[in-house]
Chains A and B, each alone.
Chain A
């Protein structure tokens, strides 16, 4: 770009190396490009932004005219609507309340999602796939992310369109005004194990208000075993994968990944085997 006379004086020539601080800073990819790869932001980008804003405004205006904001009855602590649904973007979490206690569904799992998202750029060491869409160069990352995303969206869709009175499952063709019969009770995994294997009910040890039975110990083994096996398989059989991540990244990533897989697993256990809790202690239940 040649120097040009303007109202402000001359525009300085863009120098490849301006020395000082700039020389210490690694040049970004954009700076390495020659001017032929670049176009002026005005009008090329500014017009795209203007048009997209106008289109968005038109769409929002149309939606607002077609569907004004609803307003229900005046708030009243005396009448509880059935079902009580949170805003749609939280219905995934509310749907989780069916399968998990509130502390897990409402606090721990969302916190894990946020922590996982924050850690993502630090536990993904793959230098490829930067700045373009690719599946083949980062299969695990793309699959893992899309799995979580799909889970989130599916839970929201269920919460919005398939949950009716008493938070029961309602198909679109069901009568949404009629209560569904309450179906079978749920049992804890340790009770199932106790009954199937005919184990004694008496606790082996008593820790405060915690009676540790054999069945209870088995559920602990299963719960910890899930993580132990999950951590071990890639470590033992996919050494390249482990080495590419390193110890700290591997453990953070596997914990988040296994916890994410644990969510649909618990959902299956409840839906298929009527399991209420996998692990029961007096302080928390999972």
Chain B
């Protein structure tokens, strides 16, 4: 039986198709374990070897990696939700209701999306705290800390834009609170210091741009939907690429 399995495996892994996809053998030898890092598009973010210290759970608590994992989970569950959701104020609320009643696993996917978002906000903060407490932002990693702060802000804004989409009371009023704050921005908000002096009115200030109007309505829903599902994830992906690339180039800062 074992012989037969070996034969089948041999026949499969020696084909041109298999070799065109996997450029290394099964990673059970050191050479193949190194090659898998070179030739796998996801794993190549890692170096081939890493210092023992960097493996200590008590050093990283896996927080950076988990944050990325939550982002991936959010993307996957988010795409699923997009199949059933239309950003129209007359439909949105019922679409979300349908997820809980008529769509298989709709409630589970929505709950997973929500919990992943909470988890991501929390793990980004904890990751930042860990990086600070281990001094991992010190030279040569200063700029990667800055990229990390940008990622933190984008994470928060993404979560906030997602709050509007169910079009329930929480959605409407949580975003109303936020847009009132935007109106109060100094210089560019109509209710902020020096805003009126610079010609800001309810029809042209930063809150108007954000909402696409003066109240939280259809334009705001569409803008938040596009930002939440397309704009901000693209920004996030770009900065994440820089963040990971820098980590790789600067080396792990782990305990010596």
Contact = CB atoms under 8 A, between A and B. Distances in A.
Interface of A: 4-8, 11, 26, 28-31, 33, 35, 37-46, 48-49, 52-53, 56-57, 60-61, 63-65, 67-77, 79-81, 84-90, 93-94, 101-103, 105-108, 114, 117-118, 120-122, 124, 126-134, 138, 141-142, 145, 149, 283-284
Contact of B138 (A60, A79, A127): A127
B115 A42 contact: no
B243 interface: no
Interface in B77-135: 89, 93, 96-97, 100, 107-108, 110-116, 118-119, 121, 128-129, 132-135
Contacts of B193: 103, 283-284
Contacts of B112: 60-61, 64
Contacts of A283: 193-194, 197
Given A29-B256, A121-B137, A77 B46 contact: no
A106 B181 contact: yes
Given A8-B23, A46-B43, A85-B174, A56 B70 contact: yes
Contacts of B145: 117-118, 120-121
Contacts, number: 266
Contacts of A33: 51
30 contacts: A6-B25, A7-B35, A8-B35, A8-B38, A28-B251, A30-B252, A40-B49, A41-B33, A41-B49, A43-B27, A44-B55, A53-B66, A56-B70, A57-B73, A63-B115, A68-B100, A75-B216, A80-B173, A81-B169, A84-B176, A90-B156, A90-B160, A102-B183, A102-B192, A103-B185, A105-B181, A107-B182, A121-B141, A131-B254, A149-B129
A190 B181 CA distance: 26
Interface range on chain B (Cβ under 8 Å from partner): 35 or more
Contacts of B141: 121
Nearest to A63: B115
Nearest to B66: A56
Contact of B167 (A75, A81, A121, A138): A75
B74 to A, nearest CB: 11
B201 interface: no
Given A43-B33, A64-B108, A131 B46 contact: no
Contacts of A72: 168-170
A11 B70 CA distance: 35
B184 A86 contact: no
Given A40-B30, A74-B167, A114-B153, 8 more contacts: A6-B25, A38-B51, A42-B37, A52-B62, A63-B115, A64-B111, A102-B192, A128-B135
Contacts of A77: 172, 215
Contacts of B236: none
B253 A131 contact: yes
B47 interface: yes
B117 to A, nearest CB: 9
